[in-house]
């Protein structure tokens, strides 16, 4: 009798190469493992909780055994006038935020790149990056000490026998203060990405342009900006993906009773219905899922538009 074939079937070529690559680079994968585990536990596993948007949550039954109600929660959501107002307010605040604050890191990176002295450049980078490490709680505290009723600005005003100005309680001054503090806190940190992109531009292009007599503005316009165009497009697409959820920490800490009417974005609305009234986790989950779907739709739309105007988009 012929000997039985005891050899194991060979793995497909692609799988063999994958496992060989993992074994060969096992040190890198071990470093990545904690991050992968974190994402699985805190980013992917909680996705099961989205089922609450289609259920009536019963604490004694838990998330998985609560009864299904289909789209009933969304019927209640779209009947709520405050919800529709918060959606419109969120788009208004964050579209303006995108238009006003998005160009500042680009301009700051271009300006820092033109500083010739390396030590001075590092000092500027440190000064502009430092505010990013301050929490919005601390920033709002600084704002109260500077612009509050008994703050520094009003202290100077009262020295000249004028009435104090309630900037932090003004619905007209609230949004400008939001945008100014956002630029102050985040522009330096975001500029690092653009500085890294500028550093990848071939220095010979600048040398050739300088020999040809190009001014600094001309070198910025014709070399630096085209060189970081791809980075700008990617950052813009990512910013569009957060259009419905950006700014909660800032608004939560800087708003007050006087400005709550103009500060209730969709995230603030979710917080209010979840923690400041009779808790309805199914209702708030439905609103959160709606927000995520809109963000995803805006992200894909921005990616498609970027490709149509000649950019590569997020996926090449």
Tens of pLDDT, residue by residue over 143-183, are 989 888 888 888 888 888 888 888 888 888 899 999 999 99
Residue 204 has pLDDT above 50, yes or no: yes
- C-alpha distances out from residue 102 to 36, 58, 107, 213, Å: 31, 43, 10, 31
For residue 12, the model assigns a pLDDT of: 52
Question: Who contacts 241 (Cβ-Cβ below 8 Å, separation ≥6)?
Answer: 295, 296, 298, 299, 302
Percentage, residues of the chain above pLDDT 70? 93
pLDDT, average across residues 48-75 = 88
The answer as to whether 36 is a domain residue is: no
The answer as to whether 180 is a domain residue is: yes
Say which range, 7-11, 66-70, 251-255, 266-270, has the weakest mean pLDDT: 7-11
Identify which of 90, 255, 249, 292 has the alpha carbon closest to the alpha carbon of residue 168.
255
The answer as to whether 104 is a domain residue is: yes
Residue numbers of the domain that contains 165: 77-308
Please count the structural domains in the chain: 1
The answer as to whether 2 is a domain residue is: no
pLDDT, average across residues 196-204 = 90
Instruction: Give the pLDDT band (50/70/90) at residue 311.
Output: low
Q: What is the CATH number of the domain that holds 227?
A: 1.10.3720.10
The answer as to whether 237 is a domain residue is: yes
The answer as to whether 226 is a domain residue is: yes
The answer as to whether 18 is a domain residue is: no
The answer as to whether 273 is a domain residue is: yes
Question: What's the predicted TM-score (pTM) here?
Answer: 0.81
């Amino acid at each position: 009798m012929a000997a039985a074939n005891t050899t194991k079937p060979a793995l497909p070529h692609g799988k063999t190469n994958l496992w060989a690559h993992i074994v060969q680079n096992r040190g890198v994968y071990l470093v990545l493992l904690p991050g992968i585990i974190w994402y699985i536990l805190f980013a992917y596993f909680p996705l099961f909780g989205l089922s609450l948007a289609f259920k009536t949550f019963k604490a004694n039954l838990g998330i998985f055994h609560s009864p299904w109600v289909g789209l009933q929660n969304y019927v209640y959501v779209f009947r709520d006038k405050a919800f529709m107002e918060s959606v419109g307010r969120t788009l208004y605040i964050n579209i303006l935020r995108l238009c006003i604050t998005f160009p500042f890191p680009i301009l700051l990176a271009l300006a820092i790149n033109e500083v010739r002295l390396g030590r001075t450049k590092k000092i500027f980078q440190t000064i502009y990056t430092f505010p990013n490490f301050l929490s919005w709680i601390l920033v709002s505290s600084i704002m109260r000490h500077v612009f509050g009723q008994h703050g520094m600005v009003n202290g100077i005003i009262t020295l000249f026998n004028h009435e104090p100005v309630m900037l932090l309680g003004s619905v007209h001054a609230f949004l400008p203060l939001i945008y100014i503090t956002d630029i102050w806190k985040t522009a330096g940190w975001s500029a690092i990405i653009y500085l890294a992109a500028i550093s990848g531009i071939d220095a010979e292009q600048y040398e050739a342009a300088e020999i040809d007599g190009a001014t600094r503005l001309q070198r910025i316009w014709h070399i630096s900006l085209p060189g970081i165009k791809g980075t700008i497009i990617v950052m813009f697409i990512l910013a569009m993906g957060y259009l419905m959820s950006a700014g909660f920490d800032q608004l939560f800490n800087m708003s007050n009773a006087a400005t709550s009417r103009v500060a209730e974005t969709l995230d603030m609305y979710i917080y209010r219905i979840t923690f400041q009234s009779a808790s309805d986790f199914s209702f708030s989950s439905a609103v959160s899922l709606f927000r995520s779907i809109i963000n995803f739709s805006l992200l894909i739309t921005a990616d498609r538009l970027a490709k149509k105007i000649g950019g590569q988009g997020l996926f090449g």
